[in-house]
Amino acid sequence: MLWSAPKQLKLLMSHQLNSRQGPSTIRTQLRQTSVVVARPARGEARFALACGHCGREGVFVVQDLDTTNQLRRVPIIRSVLLALVFLALPVSFAIIGFGGGDILFQVLTIPAGLIFGPFGLALLIAPTGKIGVEVPEPMFYESNTSRQGFTYVTRNKHAGQGLSCVGRVEVVK
């Protein structure tokens, strides 16, 4: 996702209100509740965010910057090395091929570039998605469920509809 750990984070509870399946598309309506928080100076901080639709409280655990950077170190190194390997393959085919002018190498270079190039670039742009936040467990409801007072009320029950209420985290730019 990023080269450096984001300091500000947007925590979201994203509740699927309905999901209609057409011939080739699935339309989903979401109710999103969000809050922007800053990382704690030291240690971990817990933020509870109630979903605006079902009322479920999701708990997000946010690590401080030092801990987050530590968590990111290994995946960043790994993805940079992998990116170099992916990019080096087509480049080395190209260098060898241009030297000899052999058609075989050109045949190898183009597909290798097409296959490995995008992977390498994606890894270089997004070394890791780890941002030191634990999101709440996702919940799945069989139908439209929301909290009213102390009880959960279920409407429009359709078997197997599988509506979800998930916690997500976004980076604040």
What are the structure tokens assigned to 73, written together? 């170190």
Of 4-12, 69-77, 81-89, 160-168: span binding Zn ion (CB under 5 A): 160-168
Does position 76 bind Zn ion by CB under 5 A? no
CB of 56 to Zn ion, least distance (A): 5
Contacts of the segment 156-161: beta carbons below 8 A, 24+ positions apart: 161/19
DSSP 128: B
What is the total count of residues that contact Zn ion (CB under 5 A)? 6
* Smallest separation (angstroms) from Zn ion to the CB of 46: 19
Span interacting with Zn ion, options 13-21, 68-76, 121-129, 148-156, rule CB under 5 A: 13-21
Q: Where are the beta strands (DSSP E) in 39-138?
A: 44-50, 57-63, 133-134
Nearest residue (CB) to Zn ion, 14 versus 128: 14
Contacts by 139-142 with C-beta closer than 8 Å and gap 24+? 139/54, 139/56, 139/164, 139/165, 139/166, 140/164, 140/165, 141/54, 141/165
Of positions 9, 11, 37, 165, contacts Zn ion by CB under 5 A: 165
For residues 159 and 39, give the distance between their C-alpha atoms in angstroms, rounded to a whole number: 41
Instruction: Identify which of residues 54 and 169 has a Cβ nearer to Zn ion in the complex.
Output: 54
The answer to whether the beta carbons of residues 12 and 32 sit under 8 Å apart is yes
Half-sphere exposure of 50 (CA within 13 A, CB side): 6
Query: Binders of Zn ion among 36-65, rule CB under 5 A?
Result: 51, 53-54, 56
Between 51 and 169, whose beta carbon lies closer to Zn ion? 51
Pick the closer one to Zn ion by CB: 39 or 53: 53
Instruction: Provide the terminal-to-terminal Cα distance of the chain, rounded to the nearest Å.
Output: 12
Is 166 a binder of Zn ion (CB under 5 A)?
Answer: no
Contact pattern for Zn ion over residues 97 through 136, marking x by CB under 5 A? ----------------------------------------
The contact set with Zn ion (CB under 5 A) reads: 15, 51, 53-54, 56, 165
